[in-house]
Structure 1
């Protein structure tokens, strides 16, 4: 799993940052990409990466403000132009379906694939054999959601030496044992999965929050997460502005991550008022509250290192 920031700015594009978009690259886990928010010009950002639009399996929209959705119609059209033919799942507030269908209709954009719309409500909004996604309503000036993406425990590792010692023959019985089942041998003996496997390793948990002021639901969604992506539109000296506009300060984000006992925090949705020369001081203050914290920049990419259970930056600023 990798996390690639395609846009990390707030409100409108700047020379340093594009508007909100984040790609969760799940190539190893499911051969697909999940996109979270789709701000203006996200297609231009994608052109600077290895992402192929037809590989985008799901898009999750946090809320209906333009800096989070204005790039969506164009991306949907390009996915069609570039040979996308598999269905696309689109999750978001109830108004999202009307916005997309109206835009495509008025622009007479024909898609070569179906869109499956999912109106987001609180609770588990997606689950299969490998992943669950939980949504929570945050606190902003319009309805906005945060998403908690949890990978289910990985399959246990099979110890072939133990299996051979117990007389398990090569073939389908080994697959059943690896899947956690108990099997019966020809001589009538039962062999449990736990007899020949190492314990299953837990998967990752990533929390991606939409625009929000400080709230308890952010902490709930972030609980024990390996990574929290939290907006930080304002600094610690503009707390009143943050509350007035339903946003968070960089210290709010750090407090959420600290109280939730999350491992790593990356803040995005950063105001254009913060120049690169300000970031050193912002980071210093944020890390006093939550040590493993970073400020995201466009095209920063982080990789999930399973053996260390850490997110490590592999490209970017």
Structure 2
């Protein structure tokens, strides 16, 4: 299960209601921590919620301030992915790293980003005497895409039953921009106790060793193979998070099997056309709500979350208003897209369930793999 918290949903510049781009993704294993929903409702139980590893996709200016309104801790941040070098996606990175250092973080941190981000950090470290007491495992996107073996994929092992695979898709924007596919794989070993009892193997420490994958010898000399008594269940959840991109078709292969697509819808199609006509020499190279919705419909994306809205669009939803607002984005999307659609706002949270068995553990039904949870600010009160 992946829990998405939008920390910024504005394009280019912040507004009074929206900060610039950042998205937190918590990696939840319900087999280990029980009912996620119940823990989130129990506001006095913060221990487990603060021990969940999470990823940060983009880090616009002010992201660390947004985090203060959530339960997310920089000590549990496992990976930062930067889609491209425009400031509304990366200007907050040096400050966030500095705050992590000052809060006592010592564990290494993985950073997946364009090479230019290393130049940015080097300059900040040199000119501001920034000291980071933790190692940064910097993986440049350009190098990852050029590797002949396992190209464009990074595997992050959270524990022996829980891992992430991050794959990278080049997109189309004014600078090199990328999309990240986040695939969470959870393996659960279930001990077949009925078979053990039927084979006259009573409960003992041997059971635990078998469940951990060890072959064991009984007191009467019988060799027991773990594979004969343990069932492995594998569940996956996949989210695709796109950077700025004017050609959604670039993600056609990436969204196959995805449970949700998160993609920019900076403008409505008429506003985008006016911007392009006004200055033919400058194309902002963003997607419109119509362009994105049509792509999602054509390739069968079941769940679509739009974000990165131009500051001209106000946060209210009123289709009759002459002031550009979320209703105009929403209606244009709904005219071409029939799937489940959400327009993200700052602190909006969504639970993404990739498998029916995991969904059942969280009290979900099979009616949809994405559920809107409300605002992180409300949950953090």
TM-score (norm 2): 0.75
Deviations 1:247-306 (A, max 9, x none): 111122223333443331111111112122332343243234142010000000112343
CA RMSD of aligned residues (A): 2.7
How far the C-alpha of 1:230 sits from its partner, in A, is 0.5
1:300 aligns with 2:325: no
State the secondary structure of the residue aligned to 1:222. Answer: coil
The 5-angstrom pairing of residues 184-263 of structure 1 reads 188=222, 193=227, 197=231, 200-240=233-273, 241=275, 244-263=283-302
1:150 to 165, 183, 201: 183
Give the whole-Å Cα distance in 1 for the aligned partners of 2:215 and 2:240: 35
State the secondary structure of the residue aligned to 1:212. Answer: coil
1:46 aligns with 2:67: yes
CA gap 1:286/1:176 in 2 versus in 1, 3 angstroms: farther
Name the residue aligned to 1:268: 307
Structure number with greater CO (CA < 8 Å, separation at least 6) is 2
255-264 or 1-10: which moved more? 255-264
Name the residue aligned to 1:14: 15
**Contact map agreement 2:259 2:352 (CA 8 A) in 1:** no
Name the residue aligned to 1:25: 26
Paired residues in the alignment total 316
**Contact map agreement 2:301 2:339 (CA 8 A) in 1:** no
Deviations 1:96-140 (A, max 9, x none): 111111112211111221222110133113343611110111111
State the secondary structure of the residue aligned to 1:157. Answer: strand
2:171 to 127, 138, 146: 138
CA gap 1:49/1:62 in 2 versus in 1, 3 angstroms: same
Give the whole-Å Cα distance in 1 for the aligned partners of 2:216 and 2:330: 54
1:119 to 136, 140, 144: 140
State the secondary structure of the residue aligned to 1:125. Answer: strand
**Contact map agreement 1:219 1:259 (CA 8 A) in 2:** no
Name the residue aligned to 1:311: 370
Unaligned runs of 5+ in 1: none
State the secondary structure of the residue aligned to 2:235. Answer: coil
**Contact map agreement 2:260 2:352 (CA 8 A) in 1:** no
Give the whole-Å Cα distance in 1 for the aligned partners of 2:28 and 2:339: 30
**Contact map agreement 1:126 1:133 (CA 8 A) in 2:** yes
Give the whole-Å Cα distance in 2 for the aligned partners of 1:127 and 1:99: 25
282-291 or 54-63: which moved more? 282-291
Deviations 1:53-100 (A, max 9, x none): 222121100000000011111111000111111111111001111111
CA gap 1:74/1:183 in 2 versus in 1, 3 angstroms: same
Instruction: Tell me which structure has the larger Cα radius of gyration.
Output: 2
1:282 aligns with 2:329: yes
CA gap 1:236/1:83 in 2 versus in 1, 3 angstroms: same
TM-score (norm 1): 0.88
**Contact map agreement 1:180 1:194 (CA 8 A) in 2:** no
**Contact map agreement 2:248 2:292 (CA 8 A) in 1:** no
Unaligned runs of 5+ in 2: 31-50, 146-151, 277-281, 319-324, 360-364, 377-381
1:86 aligns with 2:111: no
CA gap 1:153/1:75 in 2 versus in 1, 3 angstroms: closer
